[in-house]
Amino acid sequence: MLTHEENELLSRVGPGTPAGELLRRYWYPVAFVQELSEEKPTQFVRLLGEDLVLFLDKGGKVGLIQDHCAHRGASLMYGRVEERGISCAYHGWLYDTNGNCLETPAEPENSMFHLTVKLRAYPVQRLAGLYWAYLGPLPAPTLPPYDLLVRRDGRHTVQMRGQLDCNYLQPMENAVDPAHVGVLHRFSAGKYGSAGGQVARGYADGVARNDFRVFDHGIMKQRFYEDGSFEEHPLIFPNILRQGNGMEIRVPKDDTHTWVYEVRFIPLPPGEMVPDDEVPEVVDQQPHKDPMGVLYPNAVFRMNAVDAEDYMIWETQGTIPNRSVERLATSDRGVVLFRELLRENIEKVLRGEDPMGVIRDPNPPMIDTNLTGTLVFEGKLPADAIR
């Protein structure tokens, strides 16, 4: 269990909070590439408790700045893009992608007042069909070249997998909770996807043990089955689940809302490559409850797919669960390990150090995340898998 104070420490993501400062050291997807165009050049973004506007100016630059104009607070979501940036629809104050104010039209002709005005602005990069943003201190680290995002020997699809009315911590604790799979997903997930077994136990008896090991970019989950097979896939710290041919990026919008972006990689025949300028297809989202945006118990959750089943669990725990009353068991070792990593890396940031997985090399090699998917070894396990 966690005390109330510990729960607050790990859950709160806004500016100035310990977890918020940690989470600001990483890049997050904030929009599909297709969502910005000449016809629709602005997109509202809420990220880590901040209200922002993503925009495409007429010079082809993409910026992410605070939503409210410095003058009198009008929303820049309705600003007008120009060659040099975006101007507020109220009085025309013009800002570039770095948040610099270039013009204040109603001021005297020779006024230098605009030089004293600046908005919060954040770096944006484009990768795998998504715009990614970084809200931390500069210089920004390198956007990690995870294999699933950068390989060109296959096609990508992107999807808004879920729009969740809960804190980011529930999805990430679930990512290191393998014990739930054989019960919650007993009819819908891979090895467990068929009827049978006791209702309460599901397929828990088919698993010999679960293990976890910390590596450079997070936690590798390992599952050993009674039939002699073995599989593993990683939680990439602090907010990504890598499994099979997919990557789920859990994006903390604020304390009580989390968006889940998913990127999938579909291999091509050997020797074929995808053009660098190919834009990944956007896959339609399937709502996990009706009506969306309404909290439990006033929404009805869909229970016929893995993701919908997970989202039901996370949301019905509460927007931020009261972890001071939980009863952890031996199967929760991964949850405890993830919480310890959060604490350790919050302390690193407080000391002025880079946390786990932050990359400063401007040209790093591709990062192997076990993209071949769930590794299953029939019969004898490899020596390095035996602990």
DSSP string, 179-206: GGHHHHTTTTSGGG-SS-S-TTTTTGGG
Note the pLDDT of residue 383: 36
Tell me: cis bond preceding 139? Omega within 30 of 0 counts: yes
Q: Look up tokens 């390989």; give the residue.
A: 151
Q: How many Å apart are CA 143 and CA 291, to the nearest integer?
A: 36
Distance between start and end Cα atoms, the chain? 27
Q: Which fold, 147-385?
A: Naphthalene 1,2-dioxygenase Alpha Subunit; Chain A, domain 1 (3.90.380)
Give the per-residue pLDDT at 205: 59
Q: What is the pLDDT of residue 374?
A: 39
pLDDT value of residue 208: 79
Q: Is domain 32-134 in CATH 1.10.3720.10, yes or no?
A: no
Question: Three-class SS of residue 209?
Answer: strand
Q: Where are the beta strands (DSSP E) in 59-123?
A: 62-66, 80-81, 86-87, 94-95, 101-103, 121-122
Q: What local confidence, expressed as pLDDT, does residue 342 receive? A: 98
pLDDT score, position 183: 87
The strand order across the sheet containing 246-254 reads 207-215, 218-225, 230-236, 240-243, 246-254, 257-267, 154-164, 281-283
Kindly give the parts of the chain with pLDDT less than 50. Answer: 193-195, 199-201, 373-387
For residue 168, give the nearest of 304, 33, 338, 285 by alpha carbon.
338
The whole-model pTM stands at 0.91
Domain ranges of the chain: 32-134, 147-385
pLDDT value of position 210:
86
How far apart are alpha carbons 289 and 260 in whole angstroms? 15
Residue 373: per-residue pLDDT: 43
pLDDT score for 65: 98
The pair of structure tokens assigned to 207 is 């698993």
